Structure 1
């Protein structure tokens, strides 16, 4: 039986310095063991290294995230006892979530010594359309393109 009303969505917390939900979510993703102050310092330092002007650094971050956002993803669908990888469109909220997650994971895989330098360099790489996060997006797009023959069987 279906619910009468949908689940209540929680509002994402805005960042106090940039007043942007994307920066707040990035801080929460970078946070380890509840150390939000340390995570905020990492993100703010990386953004300050991008540009001393807050608005400009936020614009650069959003441009980097735009370069990372995927347009399609692969969903596994079972039909007739077989599993097929079906490409599917992604809503804008999930695109942003994946982009932030990929940016953070690619930055933390880098070899630099300090976390803010890793994040800064990954954002710069994303701006120039290279780096780990963009590579991951390209891999997802390549898989979706390879499995486009099954796109007719996705759920409506």
Structure 2
């Protein structure tokens, strides 16, 4: 789960009539909760075997640095990096 845990989360803030995605740092507990939520959602999207089997596959992929949860984490970090200029608007 630690491999899938993000460091930041994007929160929408309305500033001057425009909604910006502002990166917000997460505590360890918040990061783990978000990673577990992502694991469950990615498990539900997969078709085929039982939920426990799909969840096991997703956890194994995350431990190897692969899978949809790791992609989601990397996308979140890229968006946070792109929007870090909006941190001064908080």
Q: TM-score, normalised by structure 2?
A: 0.89
Count residues in correspondence.
90
- Deviation, 1:122, is 0.4
- Deviation, 1:99, is 0.7
Instruction: Give 3-state SS (helix, strand or coil) of 1:77's partner.
Output: strand
- Deviation, 1:131, is 0.8
**For residues 4 and 46 of structure 2, what CA distance do their matches in structure 1 show?**
17
Indicate whether 1:131 and 2:67 are aligned: yes
Aligned to 1:70: 6
Aligned to 2:46: 110
In structure 1, runs of 5+ residues without a counterpart are 1-64
Higher relative contact order (CA 8 A, sep 6+): 2
Residue of 100, 109, 116 corresponding to 2:36: 100
Q: TM-score, normalised by structure 1?
A: 0.54
After superposition, give the CA deviation of every residue in 1:24-51 in whole Å (9 maximum; x if it has no partner).
Answer: xxxxxxxxxxxxxxxxxxxxxxxxxxxx
Q: CA RMSD in A?
A: 1.3
Higher strand share: 2
After superposition, give the CA deviation of every residue in 1:82-106 in whole Å (9 maximum; x if it has no partner).
Answer: 2221111112221111011111111
Which structure has the larger Rg?
A: 1
In structure 2, runs of 5+ residues without a counterpart are none
Instruction: Give 3-state SS (helix, strand or coil) of 1:67's partner.
Output: coil
Question: How is 1:7-156 mapped onto 2 (pairs within 5 angstroms)?
Answer: 65-154=1-90
Instruction: Give 3-state SS (helix, strand or coil) of 2:22's partner.
Output: strand
